[in-house]
């Protein structure tokens, strides 16, 4: 199920880079990212667990990873 409060978007250039994808898996404390078949996947069931730590935003070029608040 997609997140109610949070959406996470990742540019293809990062999602297809196994090294960067793996890095996202490592930094996110709530397992929003996973890697399958060398491709990044967003674990939709975990999206609302996001703690807005912004660690994922440091991975890859600026703006390539986006955490969107769906509320406010
Ligand atoms: S902001 Fe933190 S908790 Fe949210 S997706 Fe990024 S790394 Fe995970």
Instruction: Choose one of 23, 54, 58, 66 to mutate for the ligand 1 pocket test, by most ligand atoms within 8 angstroms of C-beta.
Output: 54
Pair 24, 10: CB distance under 8 Å: yes
State which H helix or E strand residue 21 sits in: helix 18-27
Nearest CA to ligand 1 atom 3: 50
Q: SS3 of 64, please?
A: coil
pLDDT score for 7: 97
Mean pLDDT, the chain, as a whole number? 95
The 10 Å CB-count burial string (b at 16+, else e) for 6-39 is bbbebeeebbebeebbebbbeebeeebbeeeeee
Q: Which atom of ligand 1 is nearest to the CA of 8?
A: 5
Per-residue pLDDT, averaged over 51-68, amounts to 97
- pTM of the model as a whole: 0.94
pLDDT score for 2: 85
Domains of the chain plus CATH, in order, are: 6-69 (3.30.70.20)
- For the chain, the distance separating the N- and C-terminal CA atoms, rounded to the nearest angstrom, is 21
Instruction: Give 32 Cα–ligand 1 centroid separation in angstroms.
Output: 7
The string of pLDDT tens digits covering residues 3-28 is 899 999 999 999 999 999 999 999 99
């Amino acid at each position: 199920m997609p997140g109610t409060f949070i959406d996470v978007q990742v540019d293809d250039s990062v999602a297809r880079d196994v090294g960067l994808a793996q890095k996202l898996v490592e930094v996110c404390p709530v397992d929003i990212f996973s890697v399958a078949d060398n491709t990044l996947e967003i674990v939709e069931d975990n999206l609302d667990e996001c703690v807005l730590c912004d660690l994922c935003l440091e991975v890859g070029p600026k703006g390539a990873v986006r955490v969107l608040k769906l509320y406010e």
